[in-house]
């Protein structure tokens, strides 16, 4: 018959409780430090190197956007066999040709993979010769004609 007492070697003492509490909070702190490190190391948090200069050119960006909207052009940004592709149609639904098209592509959560790619003319629009690795990408596409900006678009794409 049991008397309700545990064996002398199996008692839960104060240092056991201190160890349990220490391990619990140690785990929570370690996970928080790891998540903070990953958040800081994978995304720089910067969209502009100098916020003041960017604010001075904002009116120009708005003017460029209004001119772009006024053209009535439409675009399709996609990946074809891992290549970033742009189809740009004018208001008459004809392909827009003769542009110098470049794209800054990178992963949405990290600036470490950002790279600039040229999109070359193809029968279906413009396409990068380089392939993108599988996954989600953020592409900022800029098209110029004779050095003048005529199209800018930022769009997420998924490479299969």
Q: Domain spans of the chain? A: 13-42, 51-159
List beta partners, residue 87: 76
Instruction: Give the CA count within 13 Å in the CB-facing half-sphere of 18.
Output: 3
Nearest to 119 by CA among 156, 72, 73, 151: 151
Cβ atoms of 88 and 71 closer than 8 Å = no
E-assigned strand segments in the chain: 74-80, 83-89, 100-106, 115-122, 125-131, 135-145, 148-159
12-54: pLDDT as tens digits: 899 999 999 999 999 999 999 999 998 877 766 666 778 888 8
Instruction: Write out pLDDT tens, residues 57-67.
Output: 888 889 989 99
Answer CATH for 51-159 from 3.40.50.2300, 3.40.50.460, 3.40.630.10, 2.60.40.10? 2.60.40.10
Nearest CA to 157 among 145, 139, 140?
139
Enumerate the β-bridge partners of residue 131: 83
pLDDT tens digits for 109-151? 777 788 999 999 999 999 999 999 999 999 999 999 999 999 9
């Amino acid at each position: 018959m049991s008397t309700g007492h545990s064996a002398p070697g199996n008692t839960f003492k104060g240092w056991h409780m201190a160890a349990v509490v220490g391990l619990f909070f140690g785990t929570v702190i370690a996970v928080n430090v790891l998540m903070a490190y990953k958040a800081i190391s994978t995304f720089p948090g910067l969209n502009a190197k100098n916020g003041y200069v960017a604010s001075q050119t904002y009116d120009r960006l708005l003017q460029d956007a209004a001119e772009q909207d006024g053209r009535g052009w439409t675009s399709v940004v996609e990946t074809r066999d891992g290549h970033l592709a742009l189809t740009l149609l004018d208001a008459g639904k004809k392909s827009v040709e003769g542009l110098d098209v470049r794209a800054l592509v990178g992963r949405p959560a990290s600036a470490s993979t950002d790279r600039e790619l040229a999109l070359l003319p193809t029968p279906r629009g413009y396409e990068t010769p380089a392939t993108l690795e599988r996954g989600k990408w953020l592409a900022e596409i800029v098209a110029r004609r004779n050095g003048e900006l005529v199209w800018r678009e930022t769009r997420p794409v998924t490479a299969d």
